[in-house]
């Protein structure tokens, strides 16, 4: 609890409670203010341990997808002739307006299955492309999917069949010794990013819950 945390800080710094209170007073803090800050800190740490860490877990597939689609690895992949393989689906939309609508729906988080349930009656199609390597793609498709990670989708691209949106289901690559060396570092970077995102979401909800609206004249 908060008292345990304060005692730990005292022990770690080799100071008494009275000395801690004096230090706080010199910095413009009361001991009660300090306890309140510590209470928030303890609650945040418990929240992270109990709820946010599991949500922020990063799979091997996510690590691999990030590494192999990171622009920083592009030059090395070229030098080592590492060719990526993309497992793709394509959404075929008959008009620009529908393509833009589909892209907005996907950007807002709609699942592709739900999107097709909405748009298929209006002529949209979802066609599995399957696995295709970079070297076997035509240049326009290669440029469209370059940098996309698993689960991401492209902007609408005009084609002879109307407009296409390409979705990346998975990214594959040959074994890269450098990947094995930095894999855990990449995992930690992705984990910290996800943890910050979940923590920001939690803090936003806490602020909203604590907001008090005062009506004039009340």
Q: What is the pLDDT of residue 196?
A: 83
Kindly provide the residue ranges of all beta strands, DSSP E only, lying in the chain, ordered along the sequence.
Answer: 85-93, 125-133, 157-159, 162-172
The model's pTM: 0.50
Q: What is the pLDDT of residue 214?
A: 42
Mean pLDDT of the region 12-37: 87
Mean pLDDT of the region 50-78: 75
Mean pLDDT of the region 96-119: 93
Nearest to 156 by CA among 69, 88, 91: 91
Contact 112, 106 (CB under 8 A): yes
Residue 144 has pLDDT above 60, yes or no: yes
**CB-neighbour burial class of residue 108 (10 A; exposed 0-12, middle 13-18, buried 19+):** exposed
Radius of gyration of the CA atoms of the chain, in A: 26
Lowest mean pLDDT among 31-35, 61-65, 75-79: 75-79
What angle, 0 to 180 degrees and rounded to 10, lies between the N-to-C axes of helices 31-47 and 17-26? 100
Residue 165 has pLDDT above 80, yes or no: yes
Please give the biggest Cα pair distance in the chain. 79
Mean pLDDT (the chain) is: 82
Helices marked H in the chain:
2-13, 17-26, 31-47, 53-55, 60-69, 74-80, 96-107, 112-119, 139-145, 177-210
- With bands split at pLDDT 50, 70 and 90, how would you rate the model's confidence at 126? very high
- With bands split at pLDDT 50, 70 and 90, how would you rate the model's confidence at 42? confident
Mean pLDDT of the region 119-130: 93
Lowest mean pLDDT among 45-54, 55-64, 145-154: 45-54
Task: Provide the sign of the torsion angle of the four alpha carbons 101, 105, 108, 112, taken in this order.
Answer: negative
DSSP 8-state code for residue 156: P
């Amino acid at each position: 609890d908060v008292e345990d945390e304060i005692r730990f800080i005292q022990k770690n710094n080799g100071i008494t409670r009275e000395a801690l209170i004096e230090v706080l007073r010199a910095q413009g803090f009361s001991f009660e203010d300090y306890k309140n800050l510590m209470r928030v800190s303890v609650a945040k740490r418990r929240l992270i341990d109990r709820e946010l860490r599991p949500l922020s877990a990063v799979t091997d597939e996510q690590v691999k997808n990030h590494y192999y689609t990171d622009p920083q690895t592009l030059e090395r992949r070229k030098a080592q002739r590492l060719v990526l393989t993309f497992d793709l689906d394509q959404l075929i939309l008959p008009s620009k307006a529908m393509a833009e609508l589909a892209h907005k729906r996907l950007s807002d988080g709609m699942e592709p299955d739900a999107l097709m349930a909405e748009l298929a009656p209006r002529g949209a199609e979802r066609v599995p492309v399957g696995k295709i390597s970079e070297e076997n793609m035509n240049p326009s498709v290669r440029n469209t999917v370059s940098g996309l990670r698993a689960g991401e989708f492209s902007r609408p691209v005009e084609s002879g069949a109307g407009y296409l949106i390409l979705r990346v289901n998975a990214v594959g690559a040959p074994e890269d010794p450098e990947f094995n060396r930095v894999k855990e570092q990449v995992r930690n970077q992705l984990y910290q990013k996800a943890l910050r995102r979940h923590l920001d979401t939690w803090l936003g909800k806490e602020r909203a819950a604590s907001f008090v609206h005062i009506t004039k004249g009340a």
